[in-house]
Structure 1
Amino acid sequence: MASTAKQRRLARRLRHLRTQAGKTIEDAAVELGCKHPKISKIENNQAGIKPEEVRALCRLYGASDHTTESMVTLARNAKARGWYLSYHGVANPENIDFAELETDSVSVSNFQIDLVPGLLQTPDYARAVIRTGLPPIAEDLIEHRVELRIARQQRVLTGDLSVWAVITEAAILRAMGGRDVHVAQLSRLLELAALPNVQLQIIPTRAGEHVSMGVPFSCFTFDDGFGAVAVDHLTGTLFLEEEPDVERYRLAFLHLCSAALSPQDTLALLRKYIKEEHSEWERRT
């Protein structure tokens, strides 16, 4: 069975803590009373580790109490898959990995070019996006994937997940699903942007070039500050979990925020488009 995102994260964090503390693999092996190949396998996600062993290594590495408890909890739950596993047969493996990372996160920073982010989509908008992005498939399969996307939004609505979304002006101009779906989606963005845990910014077309043209991505941040990145492409999703890669995308997102309108000006632009959209569609009909 393939490793879970939690298992990969646990292995990576143990290696990071050890190197940050200036400890060797031999030091860790002595602490656990094992041979050093076991430590190498643990850090390369080729072998599991017990919660009490994680606690011992955190003590050796001088980790804070908060980090230690976070690591021990991660070890206890490393093999577990959450609610999203029920969608395993109807979603791509990348969709399941994405949902797992998102569920484990405390915040998500998302950049989209042509689309509204999945966490902010209405069911009808999501349906149009999924139907357009896939070869012809059964309607019930589309509905299951819409259900997964909407289920992911619950943590946003309850305030358990913070979302900072940056989208281009093209995303709010593209009339996915037709007039009613388009207008309802813009109105939904206004509603969600009013939540204290949601921040929305739009990069206007007049802003010109920016640091991430053609590259939509999501940055996940976990409760201990570690993170991961998901980069969308035509045939799937690329997941990046090494700290230098994650930091590069975090910096890119900050640059995008600087290029975008302020949250207040973003809401004003949305209201303008909702008003004009009604008039424009009415003229067409």
Structure 2
Amino acid sequence: MTPKQRRLARRLRRLRLKSGLGLEDAAAHLGCKQPKITELEACQLGAKPDEVRALCELYGAGRATVESMVILARTAKSPGWYQVYDESANPENIDFVELETDAVSVSNFEIDLIPGLLQTEDYCRSVIRAANPGITGEVLDQRVELRVKRQDRVLRGELDVWAVVTEDAPLRPVGGREAHVAQLTRLPGLVSLPNVQFQVIPVRTGEHIAMGVPFDCFRFDDGYGTVAIDHLSGTLFLEEESDVERYRPAFRHLCGAALNPQDSLALLRKYTEEGHGSWEQRI
């Protein structure tokens, strides 16, 4: 099953539980037996668009939610643009990109990295190589290409990005001096886009709620969300509403601990203007 199908199954179950209706009610409405509803909600059976519409209307979902769910059902099995990278990317990479492609906004906290959606190609290449020391040149090129293409929706204004990083992220010379300079030089233009917010948590701030825990919060057009947490062996996806709702206020806390976007942009420009020698002394 694809991530879209899993997301659809979870949403159907949530809507039913919220409506107070039982499995028997849903089965009677569809004219099927109860096990089918159980299989739909457990993502053991793919839901057809007309079935999704009928169930959503039974559960009292709003028009926007109904149409969003029907579209999700129609496209659940359709290959995305990122499927051409199946051979070179990890399964978690594809799941991550699919979530990002379907999202309307992403809130990203990074500790010592510039977020992937804001990385230059050389910076990105160094990050991926560092995380995969034995990677071949061909696979590396494909993964870099995938990450760079992900930025297209940001540049077109189709994806809202709110990124919070610690001060170590812009200071760490990933890829060496030249790549570092190029990354810092490009950042001000990207974070000035109307759909991008960027904040820096200064070192002097001290402790904060997400120390040691970088994460992404995706929000979809129906209000549901997913949290992605990277670790050395892959990516953990949290999709239960209770988990997602724990990370949303955590991200707001990080925004409150960080410099405001204007001061964060000024700090980036200060780093860029200081020159290579100052960076080396600072680092």
TM over 0.5: yes
Measure, in 2, the Cα distance between the counterparts of 1:281 and 1:250.
Answer: 34
Q: SS where residue 163 of structure 1 aligns? A: strand
Q: Give the drift of 1:208.
A: 0.4
Measure, in 2, the Cα distance between the counterparts of 1:283 and 1:36.
Answer: 68
Q: Give the drift of 1:183.
A: 1.4
Change (3 A) 1:283 1:243: closer
1:195 and 2:193 are equivalent in the alignment: yes
Change (3 A) 1:33 1:174: same
Measure, in 2, the Cα distance between the counterparts of 1:94 and 1:65.
Answer: 32
Checking the alignment, whether the CA contact within 8 Å between 2:191 and 2:197 is kept in structure 1 is yes
Q: Identity of counterpart residues, as a percentage?
A: 67
1:248 to 243, 246, 249: 246
Deviation beyond 6 Å, 4+ runs, structure 1: none
1:113 equivalent in structure 2 = 111
Checking the alignment, whether the CA contact within 8 Å between 1:81 and 1:100 is kept in structure 2 is no
Q: SS where residue 238 of structure 1 aligns? A: strand
Matches within 5 A, 1:263-282: 263-280=261-278
Which residue identity does 2:95 align to in structure 1? D
Change (3 A) 1:281 1:17: closer
2:47 equivalent in structure 1 = 49
2:143 equivalent in structure 1 = 145
TM-score by length of 2: 0.97
Q: Deviations over 1:123-151 (max 9, x none)?
A: 00001111111122221211111000001
Q: SS where residue 230 of structure 1 aligns? A: strand
TM-score by length of 1: 0.96
Q: SS where residue 223 of structure 2 aligns? A: coil
1:218 equivalent in structure 2 = 216
Which residue identity does 1:237 align to in structure 2? T
Change (3 A) 1:205 1:122: same
1:24 equivalent in structure 2 = 22
Q: SS where residue 27 of structure 1 aligns? A: helix
Measure, in 1, the Cα distance between the counterparts of 2:229 and 2:279.
Answer: 34
Aligned-residue RMSD, C-alpha: 1.3
Measure, in 2, the Cα distance between the counterparts of 1:277 and 1:201.
Answer: 22
1:234 and 2:229 are equivalent in the alignment: no
Measure, in 1, the Cα distance between the counterparts of 2:18 and 2:279.
Answer: 58
2:180 equivalent in structure 1 = 182
Q: SS where residue 134 of structure 2 aligns? A: coil
Q: Deviations over 1:194-244 (max 9, x none)?
A: 100000000000000011111110000001110101001111100111100
Measure, in 2, the Cα distance between the counterparts of 1:107 and 1:232.
Answer: 18
Q: SS where residue 21 of structure 2 aligns? A: coil
Q: SS where residue 151 of structure 1 aligns? A: helix
Q: Deviations over 1:240-271 (max 9, x none)?
A: 11100111111111111111100001011111
Mean CA deviation greater in 177-186 or 146-155: 177-186
Q: Deviations over 1:8-41 (max 9, x none)?
A: 1100110111111111111100000011111011
Q: Deviations over 1:52-92 (max 9, x none)?
A: 11111111111111111111111111112301110000011
Which residue identity does 2:27 align to in structure 1? A
Measure, in 1, the Cα distance between the counterparts of 2:167 and 2:95.
Answer: 29
Tell me, which stretches of 5 or more residues in structure 1 are unaligned?
Answer: none
Which residue identity does 1:228 align to in structure 2? T
Measure, in 2, the Cα distance between the counterparts of 1:108 and 1:71.
Answer: 20
Tell me, which stretches of 5 or more residues in structure 2 are unaligned?
Answer: none
1:172 to 161, 170, 173: 170
Measure, in 2, the Cα distance between the counterparts of 1:61 and 1:52.
Answer: 14
Measure, in 1, the Cα distance between the counterparts of 2:105 and 2:135.
Answer: 33
Measure, in 2, the Cα distance between the counterparts of 1:205 and 1:4.
Answer: 41
